[in-house]
Amino acid sequence: MPARATVTVDLGNGTTSAAYKNAQGQIVAIPDKDGQLCTATAVGFEQGDPARPVFGRTAMSMRRVHPEWVCTFAKRARGKGDVPAIVDKDGRVWTTREMEALFLASRLNHAQEFTGERIAGVLITVPANFDDAQRRASLAVVEQAGYACIGTINEPTAALLRYAQGKKGTFLVTDVGKGTSDISIIAADGNTFTIRAAAGRSDLGGAEFQACILQHLMDYAAGNGVVLDPAQDHRSLILMEYEAENAACDLSSVQEVAIAFQAHGRLFDVSLTRATFESLVSDLCEQIRDLVTEAMASAGLAPDEIDGVVMVGGASRTPCIRAVLESLFGAAKILTDIDLDKAVSLGAVEAIGLKLNELTVGGNQALVNRLHEYDLHSNVKVNDVCSWPIGVRARDSRTGLDAFVVMIAKNTPLPATCRQVFGLIGGDVGTGDTPIIVLQGDPEEHPDKARVLARFRLSNLPPGPTRERIEVEFAMDCSGLANVHARDLFSGREIAEQVDARDAVQKQHVA
């Protein structure tokens, strides 16, 4: 069977969906083996045996009994290296990257059965707020699952491609999922989409809202003489998490829910109103508001300049999140004719041709030649921005302190390049290697708090001038992935490397 199909995957913390374009030009959501269009993103080993993997809702059911053999929330670990996930029955430690790849392989293998074609390429969606390391880790999980990745597209952008093709206006997209929150401001002009600004958090989502309910239940139990210890009562707390999740979902449509849970052999019944729930999560809603105002300020826009607000992500159903947006923009601007759960994967299909054209320009014609002709056509153009400032660590000659020198600022239109010349600390010349440390993060904070994306070295520099000695150039592509080039202007020695935070320390190519 030739590899022809191209699919999109929204691989989330909570659920995963996939889609493709069929031969008739229709965009189709791809179900999992259970017929579900949104699969619970969970993978585990039955009885701890790697030869007996379980996925989706089967894994979630097993988690109630054997949480130690089930991995969830792997997306939050992307870009953080080899994070341990579970230990199998033989004592082998499996990382979140391995477990996420195992889950994705299962989902895509069934997608091949559904489409009747082998998958030649996968376009994976990512939060707009993902940094370089997280984006490269997203590419890596597709590759580790055994498939070719044709690139990434930001989730809010994909959602708007689903909604606003052929329309004109400036839209604010709010994507609050299980584990992340994204705000993007995007100007639509027919089939051209220009990201004006983005803001987000990789540690704020529906899970935090549910954790507030869980803490409420723990406090209730403690008030009745039962204190739960996360280290000792892990399984009880997992069962309570399910009740908290169900309650959060139900309170999106009803004013009050009854929650029953067991702790230390006792049965508790708690009544939770929407008003109480909203008081518990009021601080989280304010954090969502802060992200919206941050994006608006970055775009230089007032609320009356926003033509519509698109809400996607399962946690966007939370009424108090909608209330925050209504207070800022008015209820009439909240658009409701969009699928909160599948808009991202369905909209990403519209960008497949765009990404394939980028591959052609990049020289990957071999992959393009294997694909359907209709996948190669693209009616959309996306002008994206840099999600995080990126630069280098350098010493301030005036203060003697290290600083984060930004080369490409946040919300800079992509693709982007920047070149800057730095001096050398005298002791570095002729004594060994000159380090070039690539940082991404908040430049207002101490550089120790920024993410180190890579460490490069210019080796064996000859003695010579120290001022205006090293020229550093950054280039960031349309997917937000960076490359760095550094050259010693005195000797001509240089390095040219792709910033790849999967390994943190790169091999050098010294000319």
- What pLDDT is recorded for position 223? 96
Backbone angles phi, psi at 23, to 5 degrees: -65, -20
Backbone φ, ψ for residue 33 (5° rounding): -65, -20
* SS3 category, 273: strand
Centre a 10 Å sphere on the Cβ of residue 362 and count the other Cβ atoms it contains.
10
Alpha-carbon span 264 to 253, nearest angstrom: 32
72 DSSP assignment: E
Q: Which helix (H) or strand (E) holds 397?
A: none
Tokens 């704020």: give the residue: 204
Strand order in the sheet with 42-45: 53-55, 42-45, 70-72
CB-based contacts of 21: which residues, under 8 Å, 6+ apart?
Answer: 6, 27, 28, 349, 352, 374, 375
Domain positions in the chain: 3-164+339-382, 206-280, 390-498
CATH code matching the domain that covers 390-498, chosen among 2.40.30.10, 2.60.34.10, 1.10.287.540, 2.40.40.20: 2.60.34.10
Q: Is 203 helix (H, G, I), strand (E, B) or coil?
A: coil
What is each CA distance from 491 to 4, 254, 405, 463, 494, in whole angstroms?
49, 71, 24, 9, 9
pLDDT at 507: 33
Report d(CA 121, CA 424) in Å as an integer: 45
What is the spatial distance between Cα 496 and Cα 459, in angstroms, rounded to a whole number? 13
Would the CA dihedral through 128, 130, 136, 138 be positive or negative? negative
State how far the Cα of 50 lies from the Cα of 44, in Å rounded to an integer.
Answer: 8
The separation between the first and the last C-alpha atoms of the chain, rounded to the nearest angstrom, is 44
- Rg value, the chain, Cα: 24
CB–CB of 443/406 below 8 Å? yes
- Do residues 424 and 436 touch, judged by C-beta distance below 8 A? no
Both tokens of 364, joined, read 């990957």
Q: Where are the beta strands (DSSP E) in 360-499?
A: 381-383, 390-395, 402-408, 416-422, 433-440, 451-459, 470-476, 482-488, 494-498
In angstroms, the CA 349 to CA 21 distance is: 7
Q: What would the two tokens of residue 74 be?
A: 């792997």
Q: Kindly indicate whether the domain formed by 3-164+339-382 is annotated with CATH number 3.65.10.10.
A: no
Task: Compute how many other C-beta atoms are within 10 angstroms of the C-beta atom of residue 48.
Answer: 17
391 CB-near residues (< 8 Å, 6+ apart): 404, 405, 406, 407, 408, 438, 439, 440, 443, 474
Token digits for 121? 């390429």
Phi, psi of 420 (to 5 degrees): -145, 150
The angle at the Cα of 23, spanning 358 to 310, to the nearest 5 degrees, equals: 60
E-strand ranges in 228-378 read 256-263, 266-273, 308-312, 334-335
Q: How far is CA 433 from CA 140, 390, 396, 467, 508, in A?
A: 30, 22, 20, 17, 12
Which pLDDT score is estimated for 42? 97
Instruction: Tell me if domain 3-164+339-382 and domain 390-498 are identical in fold.
Output: no
The segments of the chain whose pLDDT lies below 50 read: 427, 501-511
Taking the C-alpha atoms of 402, 408, 411 and 413 in order, what is their torsion angle to the nearest 10 degrees? 180
pLDDT reported for residue 469:
83
Residue with tokens 């080369």: 407
Q: Which residue, chain included where needed, has tokens 């803001």? A: 199
**206-280 has which fold?**
Actin; Chain A, domain 4 (3.90.640)
Answer whether the bond into residue 465 is a cis peptide, omega within 30°.
no
**CA-wise closest residue to 112 among 55, 21, 30:** 30
- CA nearest to 153, candidates 123, 179, 177: 123
